[in-house]
C-alpha cells in the first residue's frame, strides 16, 4: 500500500521505516528541508536502536523522503499524521501543527484518502481534523479520519512497532477499518518475517491483538495508558520514600508486589522520576481534557506532584551525602531522560543538574548518546562533558547516577573508586547492589534502600564531605 507519514520525529520516522519493513511504499514528509536532506543521504537525527540498519536497507526503495505534503498525499492511500503536539500554556496540547496539516490535506484530495492520527492527541481531535478539512473544501465522502495511537518506547521503538502486544485502530467507518486492517495485516496474521535481526521485546504476543474501537475511544486509550504508567512510577517512588523512612528495602517490596499477575513488575523501578516527551505532556493534556469535561481528575495532580518532589528529594540525598554543595566537583552519569535514547526533553537528569548548578556545584557529565542535545539546554558555566564515565569521575567529590544506561551498570567499580577523589556514589537509578558497593569501599546512597558507608577510608583527604 502507498502510505505517507507526515513528520519525521521519533514517532514519524520509526513508523515510516517500519511500514516500509512491512512491505508498503512509504513517503516520509517533513517541512524541515535540512532534516529531509539529511534523511535522504542516510543520516539519522535521533538515537534509536535498529533504525539506522532498517533505514539503510529501505531508503530510496520502499521509503523515500519529501518536503511536499501535497505531492505525498496525492500519491498515497493513507496519510499518517505524526507531527509534534507540544504542551501549550495551561497544560493542553498544542494542536496547531495538526491543524496546519489538515488544512493542507484538504487540497490534496484526488481520490479517497484515509487520514490517520498517529500523534498523541486529546479526544475529539479527529472531529476537528474532519471539520477543518471540510471547511477547506474537501468533499465529505472523499476521506475518513481514524486514530491509530502509537505505544512506542524510545530506545526500543523499532522492536515495539514490529513486535507489538496490541494494535489499536479507532475508526468510525468500515471502509477505514478495512484499510487499517490491511496495513497491519503482516503483523496480525503472523506472515511478517523480519529482514534483519531486530530483538523482540520480552514475551511479545504473536500475533498481536488487533483492538478495534471508535476514534474517541482510541484517543482516550493513548492518554489513559501513559497516565497509568506515570502513576505506576510515582506510586513506586512514593513507596520507596516510605521504605527509606521505616528501613525496608524497596527491591524486596517490588518483588513482592510485581509478582502479582494483576500488577506485574514493569515500571516498578524507583528513581528520580519519569520524564521524556510523552509522560509529562500527556499527563497534563489528559488532566486538562478531564477538566474541560467537568471532571476533576485529582489523582493525576498527585502523580505529577510526586514526580516533581522526587527530584528535590534526590537533591537532599546528595546534600546529606556531601554536607555542603557549593564548590563541590560532581561527576554525573546520564543526561537523557532514560537509557537507550538521546532525548533530553523533560529529562529528570537535566532538572537535577540544573539544580546542582544553581547550588554552585561544578558538573562533569557523561552520557553515551545525549551530550550534544544536553549542550543545547544546559548553561556552559561550571559544566563540562567527558568522553567516558571514568574521565567524568576523575578527581570528583562524588558520582551521581541519573540515567539507567546498561553501560553504567557494568562499570569497573575498582577503576571508578580509583578515579574519584572520594568514594561517594549517589545512585538515582538503583543500578548497584548496596552490599557490593560497601565491599568495594564506597559510601553508597540509593532510592528506597538503606545507605551504606565505605568499608575503607581514602587517605590524604583534605576536603570535608
- What does the chain come to in residues? 465
Per-residue cell: 121: 492527541
Instruction: Please state, in angstroms and as integers, the Cα–Cα distance from residue 214 to each residue in 145, 401, 463, following that order.
Output: 11, 44, 64
Active site residue 278: yes
Per-residue cell: 201: 521485546
The upper half-sphere exposure of residue 148, i.e. CA atoms within 13 Å in the direction of its Cβ, equals 27
Instruction: Please state, in angstroms and as integers, the Cα–Cα distance from residue 361 to each residue in 68, 152, 344, 370, following that order.
Output: 48, 36, 21, 21
Q: Are 16 and 5 in contact (CB under 8 A)?
A: yes
Element (H, E) at 362: strand 362-366
Task: For residues 217 and 132, give the distance between their C-alpha atoms in angstroms, rounded to a whole number.
Answer: 21
How buried is 307 (Cβ within 10 angstroms: 0-12 exposed, 13-18 middle, 19+ buried)?
buried
Instruction: Calculate the dihedral angle through the C-alpha atoms of 350, 388, 38, 196, rounding to the nearest 10 degrees.
Output: -110
Q: Are 41 and 65 in contact (CB under 8 A)?
A: no
Task: For residues 166 and 36, give the distance between their C-alpha atoms in angstroms, rounded to a whole number.
Answer: 31
Catalytic residue chosen out of the listed positions 18, 254, 278, 361: 278
Label the pairing between strands 113-117 and 78-81.
parallel
Q: Which residue has the cell 518483588?
A: 255
Rounded to 5 degrees, what angle do the CA atoms 361, 362, 367 make? 115
Per-residue cell: 387: 568522553
**Peptide bond preceding 207 in cis form (omega within 30 of 0):** yes
The span from the first CA to the last CA of the chain, in angstroms, equals 64
Q: Are 196 and 53 in contact (CB under 8 A)?
A: yes
Which sequence positions are flagged as catalytic? 278
Amino acid at each position: 500500500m502507498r502510505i505517507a507519514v507526515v513528520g519525521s520525529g521519533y514517532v514519524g520516522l520509526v513508523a515510516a521505516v517500519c511500514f516500509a519493513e512491512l512491505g508498503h511504499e512509504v513517503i516520509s514528509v517533513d517541512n524541515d528541508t535540512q532534516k529531509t536532506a539529511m534523511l535522504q543521504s542516510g543520516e539519522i537525527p535521533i538515537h534509536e536502536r535498529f533504525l539506522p540498519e532498517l533505514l539503510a536497507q529501505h531508503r530510496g526503495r520502499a521509503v523515500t523522503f519529501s518536503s511536499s505534503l501535497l505531492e505525498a498525499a496525492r500519491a498515497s492511500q493513507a496519510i499518517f499524521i505524526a507531527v509534534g503536539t507540544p504542551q501549550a500554556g495551561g497544560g493542553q496540547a498544542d494542536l496547531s501543527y495538526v491543524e496546519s496539516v489538515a488544512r493542507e490535506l484538504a487540497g490534496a484530495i484526488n481520490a479517497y484518502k484515509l487520514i490517520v492520527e498517529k500523534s498523541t492527541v486529546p479526544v475529539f481531535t479527529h472531529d476537528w481534523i474532519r471539520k477543518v478539512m471540510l471547511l477547506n473544501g474537501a468533499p465529505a465522502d472523499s476521506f475518513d479520519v481514524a486514530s491509530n495511537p502509537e505505544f512506542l518506547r524510545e530506545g526500543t521503538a523499532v522492536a515495539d512497532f514490529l513486535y507489538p502486544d496490541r494494535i489499536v485502530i479507532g475508526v468510525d467507518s468500515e471502509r477505514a477499518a478495512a484499510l487499517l486492517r490491511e496495513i497491519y495485516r503482516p503483523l496480525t496474521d503472523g506472515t511478517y518475517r523480519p529482514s534483519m535481526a531486530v530483538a523482540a521485546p520480552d514475551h511479545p504476543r504473536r500475533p498481536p491483538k488487533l483492538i478495534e474501537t471508535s476514534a474517541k475511544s482510541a484517543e482516550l486509550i493513548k492518554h489513559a495508558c501513559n497516565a497509568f504508567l506515570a502513576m505506576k512510577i510515582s506510586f513506586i517512588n512514593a513507596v520507596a520514600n516510605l521504605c527509606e523512612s521505616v528501613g525496608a528495602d524497596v527491591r524486596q517490596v517490588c518483588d513482592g508486589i510485581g509478582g502479582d499477575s494483576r500488577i506485574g513488575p514493569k515500571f516498578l523501578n524507583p528513581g528520580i522520576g519519569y520524564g521524556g516527551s510523552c509522560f509529562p505532556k500527556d499527563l497534563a493534556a489528559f488532566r486538562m481534557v478531564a477538566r474541560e469535561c467537568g471532571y476533576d481528575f485529582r489523582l493525576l495532580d498527585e502523580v505529577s506532584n510526586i514526580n516533581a518532589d522526587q527530584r528535590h528529594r534526590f537533591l537532599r540525598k546528595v546534600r546529606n551525602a556531601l554536607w555542603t554543595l557549593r564548590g563541590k566537583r560532581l561527576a554525573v552519569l546520564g543526561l537523557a531522560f532514560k537509557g537507550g535514547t538521546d532525548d533530553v526533553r523533560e529529562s529528570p537528569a537535566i532538572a537535577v543538574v540544573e539544580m546542582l548548578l544553581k547550588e554552585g556545584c561544578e558538573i562533569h557529565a557523561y552520557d553515551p548518546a545525549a551530550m550534544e542535545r544536553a549542550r543545547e539546554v544546559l548553561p556552559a558555566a561550571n559544566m563540562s562533558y567527558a568522553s567516558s564515565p571514568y574521565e567524568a569521575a576523575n578527581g570528583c567529590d562524588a558520582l551521581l547516577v541519573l540515567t539507567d544506561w546498561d553501560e553504567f551498570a557494568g562499570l569497573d567499580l575498582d577503576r571508578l573508586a580509583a578515579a574519584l577523589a572520594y568514594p561517594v556514589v549517589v545512585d538515582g537509578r538503583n543500578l548497584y547492589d548496596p552490599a557490593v558497593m560497601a565491599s568495594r569501599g564506597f559510601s553508597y546512597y540509593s532510592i528506597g534502600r538503606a545507605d551504606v558507608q565505605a568499608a575503607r577510608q581514602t587517605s590524604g583527604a583534605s576536603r570535608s564531605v
